[in-house]
């Protein structure tokens, strides 16, 4: 994962060569430094600098949070000239147009629980009131692995999720096999059955005490037993 971030940062810096006016380069790189360990922000910056929305020189000086649900972020990239919206998660990224258009597809309005298109347009009209997007590793209220907020359930398979039966790491303990009476989970149907049993028992939502300490350079080490 850290090697990935490194490569992502290199790719962004390379794309910046074409995208950022020379006079603004230092400031553009400052933002890259702020988010150097934040996969969501790096994904956005790489997308922006690789496919400049208006196909001309521009650069991002700020990221703000329009909304977020379960690790899926609707972020505003504030550039020298405009404000653009991106839907970003650990799964990928989708450009959503300009913030001042104030438009979002109905399924996304529903997903982010806006009452109406007008309610969303109002939020877009006040970009300056939106919170600045905090770099992930610094924000204790967000699971560092799956980006669930405090009180939300982890993405199933998140290494930080705690097992409600034994109190260990859900992806490492044997409870899933014991609960299903199987030797392993080998297909989608078994996984769905496990999810149902897990929900019946009651999943443990993310809270900041669950954060692993990133003592080493590789977070995967922390998650190993
Ligand atoms: Zn998580
Ligand atoms: Zn367990």
Residue with tokens 């199987």: 182
Q: Please indicate, yes or no, whether residues 158 and 103 belong to a single structural domain of this protein.
A: no
**Are residues 156 and 130 part of one domain?**
no
Give CA separation, 12 vs 32, 88, 164, 190, in Å.
Answer: 8, 16, 41, 40
Closest CA to 194 of 212, 211, 180: 180
CA 225 / ligand 2 centre spacing (Å):
13
Residue 24 belongs to what domain range? Answer: 2-138
Residues around ligand 1, an ion, CB closer than 5 A? 143, 145-146, 148, 154, 158, 160
Looking at the fold, whether 124 and 218 belong to one and the same domain comes out as no
65/117 same-domain check: yes
Task: Say what the pLDDT of residue 212 is.
Answer: 67
Average pLDDT over residues 67-95: 93
Please give the average per-residue pLDDT across 124-147, as a whole number.
Answer: 86
* d(CA 201, ligand 2 centre) in Å: 12
Mean pLDDT of the chain: 88
Same domain (yes/no): 26, 38: yes
The set of residues, in sequence order, having a beta carbon less than 8 Å from that of 93 and lying 6+ positions away, is 43, 44, 47, 86, 87
The secondary element (H helix, E strand) that includes residue 215 is none
What pTM was computed for the model?
A: 0.68
Ligand nearest to the CA of 207: 1
């Amino acid at each position: 994962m850290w090697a990935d971030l490194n490569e992502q940062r290199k790719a962004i810096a390379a794309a910046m060569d074409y995208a950022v006016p020379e006079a603004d380069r230092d400031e553009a790189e400052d933002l890259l430094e702020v988010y150097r360990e934040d996969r969501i922000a790096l994904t956005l910056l790489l997308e922006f600098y690789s496919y400049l929305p208006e196909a001309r020189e521009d650069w991002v000086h700020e990221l703000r949070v329009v909304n977020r649900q379960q690790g899926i972020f609707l972020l505003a990239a504030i550039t020298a000239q405009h404000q653009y919206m991106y839907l970003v998660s650990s799964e990928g990224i989708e450009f959503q147009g300009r913030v001042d258009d104030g438009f979002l597809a109905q399924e996304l309005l529903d997903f982010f629980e806006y009452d109406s298109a007008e309610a969303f347009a109002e939020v877009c009209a006040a970009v300056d009131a939106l919170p600045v997007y905090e770099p992930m590793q610094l924000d204790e209220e967000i699971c560092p692995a799956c980006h669930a907020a405090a009180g939300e359930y982890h993405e199933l398979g998140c290494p930080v999720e705690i097992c409600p039966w034994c109190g260990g790491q859900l992806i490492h303990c044997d409870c899933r096999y014991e609960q299903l009476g199987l030797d392993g989970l080998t297909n989608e149907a078994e996984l769905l059955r496990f999810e149902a049993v897990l929900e019946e028992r009651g999943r443990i939502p993310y809270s900041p005490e669950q954060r692993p300490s990133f003592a080493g350079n590789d977070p995967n080490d922390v998650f190993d037993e």
